[in-house]
Amino acid sequence: MLFFRALAAALLAGTTLALSPAAHTASGQPIFVAPSGSRVKPVGRNMEVFAPNGTLIHTFENVIPTNLKTKRASSQPIRRQDLSATEAYAEFGPTDVIQSFNTTFVVPPAPTTFESQIIFLSANVQPLDANGVPFGNLRAALQYGGSSVQGGPFWTYAIQLEVPPFGFLQVTNIGANPDLDVGQHIISTLVYDAEFSDDGIFWYIASFDNVTDAPTLEVGWQVPPQIAALELEVEGVSQASDYPAGSFVFEQVNLNLTTGPPTISWNTSVDPTTNVEVTVDVDGSENAQISIVFPSS
Ligand SMILES: *[C@@H]1O[C@H](CO)[C@@H](O)[C@H](O)[C@H]1NC(C)=O
Ligand SMILES: *[C@@H]1O[C@H](CO)[C@@H](O)[C@H](O)[C@H]1NC(C)=O
Ligand SMILES: *[C@@H]1O[C@H](CO)[C@@H](O)[C@H](O)[C@H]1NC(C)=O
Ligand SMILES: *[C@@H]1O[C@H](CO)[C@@H](O)[C@H](O)[C@H]1NC(C)=O
Ligand SMILES: *[C@@H]1O[C@H](CO)[C@@H](O)[C@H](O)[C@H]1NC(C)=O
**Ligand 3 atom index nearest CA of 104:** 4
Q: What is the mean pLDDT of residues 21-43?
A: 86
Instruction: Report the run of H or E that residue 16 belongs to, with start and end.
Output: helix 2-16
At 134-183, the pLDDT tens digits run 999 999 999 998 876 778 899 999 999 999 888 899 999 888 899 999 99
Q: Does the beta carbon of 103 sit less than 6 angstroms from any atom of ligand 4?
A: no
Q: What is the pLDDT of residues 217-257, one digit of tens each?
A: 999 999 999 999 999 998 889 999 999 999 999 999 999 99
Pocket test for ligand 2, best of 87, 91, 268, 269 (most atoms within 8 A of CB): 91
| Pairing of the two strands 30-35 and 167-172 | parallel
Q: Is the CB of 170 under 6 A from ligand 3?
A: no
Amino acid at position 282, single letter: V
Output the pLDDT for position 195.
84
The secondary element (H helix, E strand) that includes residue 208 is strand 202-208
Q: Which ligand is nearest to the CA of 269?
A: 2
- Cα(267) to centroid(ligand 2), Å: 6
Ligand 5 centroid to Cα of residue 189, in Å, is 14
**pTM for the complete prediction?**
0.90
**How many angstroms separate the CA atoms of 252 and 240, rounded?**
27
